[in-house]
Amino acid sequence: NAGVTQTPKFQVLKTGQSMTLQCAQDMNHEYMSWYRQDPGMGLRLIHYSVGAGITDQGEVPNGYNVSRSTTEDFPLRLLSAAPSQTSVYFCASSSSRTSGSHEQFFGPGTRLTVL
């Protein structure tokens, strides 16, 4: 299993540009989440999904969109990039509560710089 994969690893954008960060998992996990990590602030939840077709906002959703058309994929879209969105982005997935496991598995991260 590849686990949770993210592309790209690095990205530089100019203010106002849009882009999509890709996330995929091959563990058949129902739950997927996007976090951003900034120095001194830990990881903050952007959006999450409890299954295909279902998404909800986390702590810092403004400026980001998500969709979940399949169980495997959970892309994060930046609509109009701003310097405040410079961060490291992590995607994570976890199994259903009914299986008893609560562990969230993280992808390798995408380092995004907005100029």
Q: Which of 13, 21, 23, 32 binds other proteins (CB under 8 A)?
A: 32
Site string for other proteins, 1-30 (x = CB under 8 A): ------------------------------
**Rounded CA separation 30/84 (Å):** 30
Find all residues with CB under 8 Å of 33, minimum gap 6, and list them. 45, 46, 47, 48, 49, 58, 91, 92, 93, 94, 104
Q: Does 8 sit behind a cis peptide bond, omega within 30 degrees of 0 on the bond before it?
A: yes
Stretch of 15-23, 61-69, 76-84, 100-108 contacting other proteins, by CB under 8 A: 100-108
Q: Per CB under 8 A, does 106 bind other proteins?
A: yes
Q: Per CB under 8 A, does 109 bind other proteins?
A: yes
Residue 94: CB minimum distance to other proteins, A: 5
Type and span of the H or E element at 64: strand 64-66
**Rounded CA separation 60/29 (Å):** 23
Stretch of 20-28, 35-43, 61-69, 74-82 contacting other proteins, by CB under 8 A: 35-43
Contact assessment for residue 84 and residue 36, using Cβ atoms and an 8 Å cutoff:
no
Q: Is 74 or 81 the residue whose CB approaches other proteins more closely?
A: 74
Contact footprint for other proteins (CB under 8 A): 31-33, 35, 40-45, 48-50, 58-59, 90, 94, 96-97, 102-104, 106-109
